[in-house]
């Protein structure tokens, strides 16, 4: 029997799936496991603890044969290599491979077939397998250099709009009440002070309040959502360039910002309307941890 583990390590939570001969055995969820410049040890510890507990709970008495981890923030070879080394040193799996969380989504949605994945949660990234089987990427450069259209980008833009409104450099907005309430602060001044110390995932959590304000008719929030949706649509548009003219592409959405009921999903679909003749947005359920299991089975073979 071949035991493999697939891990989806994100900024808000980490999910691990244990499978025997590709048959799911057990699944567990833990804390954040995304890679950050200062958070490699914490990400490794989160993953190690989660996988160790998962295997023990399932009655496993030996390390798994292979483990694939898709981690947010693992966009460079150097970051992937460091996490792989830390996980191999812990001996929770005989073979370990680290990739991006978007790669897991691509595998889950399309297997080895061509397609495009747009993932947006705390961060954002686009990933495609072109008709020749080559992996292509757009975005995913992290909150300092990119992550356009992400939850962080939308939350930060909302905070900036509140600051402009407070300075009378921007129009009044319902965000001046909604964002302090969502962050547990008293007013715009307290919100801005809070934001200077808040981490990326916490600021990303304000995206929900921006979306709600947009849905309620606030013009400022609506403009921010439209801009973020346009940024996300640009990921898809860039990846479409790798598909020959006349060759359509299936597109899958992933991440908390683009779930089936999200206002952001609707806004992105509207922004993608000019590309409608070349894309087909799939509504199939995407399971990144299952995608990691499929990749781990290949690694173990």
Q: Find the helix or strand (DSSP H, E) in which 159 lies.
A: helix 151-167
Write the burial class of residue 285 (CB in 10 Å: 0-12 exposed, 13-18 middle, 19+ buried).
exposed
Between CA 264 and CA 25 the distance in angstroms is 34
Q: Write down the pLDDT at residue 42.
A: 84
Please check the confidence at residue 206 and state whether its pLDDT lies above 80: yes
State the chain's mean pLDDT as an integer.
89
Name residues whose C-beta falls within 8 Å of residue 181's C-beta, 6 or more positions apart in sequence.
Answer: 209
Region 235-257: mean pLDDT is: 89
What are the CB-based long-range contacts (under 8 Å, 24+) for 19-23? 19/293, 19/296, 19/297, 22/293, 22/294, 22/297
Name which of 73-82, 89-98, 196-205, 269-278 the model is least confident about.
73-82
3: its two tokens: 């035991």
pLDDT in tens, 100-115: 888 888 888 898 899 9
Region 178-192: mean pLDDT is: 96
Fold that domain 3-107+287-300 belongs to in CATH: Nucleotidyltransferase; domain 5 (3.30.420)
Q: Write down the pLDDT at residue 37.
A: 65
120, 216, 210: which is closest to 156 by C-alpha? 210
Please check the confidence at residue 223 and state whether its pLDDT lies above 90: yes
Between CA 4 and CA 52 the distance in angstroms is 12
Between CA 150 and CA 291 the distance in angstroms is 22
120: its two tokens: 């947006």
**pTM beyond cutoff 0.75:** yes
Between CA 121 and CA 152 the distance in angstroms is 8
Q: Write down the pLDDT at residue 256.
A: 84
pLDDT in tens, 40-98: 888 888 889 888 888 887 766 667 889 999 888 777 788 888 889 989 888 888 899 99
Q: Parallel, antiparallel, or unpaired: how do β-strands 64-71 and 23-30 relate?
A: unpaired
142, 246, 112, 265: which is closest to 204 by C-alpha? 142
Buried b (16+ CB within 10 A) or exposed e, 59-90: ebeebbbbbbbbbbbbbeeebbebbbebbeeb
Q: Write down the pLDDT at residue 60.
A: 65
Where exactly does CATH 3.30.420.40 map onto the chain? Answer: 3-107+287-300, 110-145+226-281
pLDDT in tens, 139-158: 988 778 888 999 999 999 99
13: confidence class by pLDDT, cuts 50, 70, 90:
confident
CATH architecture of the region 110-145+226-281: 2-Layer Sandwich (3.30)
């Amino acid at each position: 029997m071949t035991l493999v583990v697939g891990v989806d390590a994100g900024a808000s939570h980490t999910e691990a799936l244990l499978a025997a001969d590709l048959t799911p055995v057990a699944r567990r969820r833990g804390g954040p496991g995304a890679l950050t410049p200062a958070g490699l040890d914490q990400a490794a510890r989160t993953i190690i603890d989660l996988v160790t507990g998962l295997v023990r709970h399932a009655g496993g008495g030996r390390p798994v044969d292979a483990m694939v981890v898709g981690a947010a923030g693992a966009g460079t070879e150097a970051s992937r290599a460091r996490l792989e080394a830390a996980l191999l040193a812990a001996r929770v799996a005989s073979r370990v491979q680290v990739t991006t969380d978007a790669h897991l989504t691509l595998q889950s949605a399309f297997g080895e077939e061509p397609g495009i994945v747009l993932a947006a949660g705390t961060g954002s990234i686009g990933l495609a397998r072109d008709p020749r089987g080559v992996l292509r990427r757009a975005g995913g450069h992290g909150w300092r250099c990119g992550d356009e259209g992400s939850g962080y980008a939308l939350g930060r833009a909302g905070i900036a709009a509140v600051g402009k409104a407070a300075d009378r450099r921007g129009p009044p907005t319902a965000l001046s009440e909604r964002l302090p309430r969502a962050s547990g602060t008293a007013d715009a001044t307290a919100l801005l002070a809070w934001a200077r110390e808040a981490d990326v995932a916490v600021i990303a959590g304000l995206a929900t309040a921006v979306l709600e304000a947009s849905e309620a008719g606030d013009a400022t929030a609506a403009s921010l959502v439209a801009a973020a949706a346009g940024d996300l649509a640009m990921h898809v548009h860039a990846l479409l360039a790798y598909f020959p003219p006349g060759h359509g592409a299936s597109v899958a959405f992933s991440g908390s910002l683009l779930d089936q009921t999200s206002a952001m999903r609707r806004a992105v679909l509207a922004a993608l309307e000019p590309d409608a003749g070349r894309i087909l947005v799939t509504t199939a359920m995407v399971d990144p941890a299952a995608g990691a299991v499929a990749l781990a089975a290949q690694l173990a073979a």
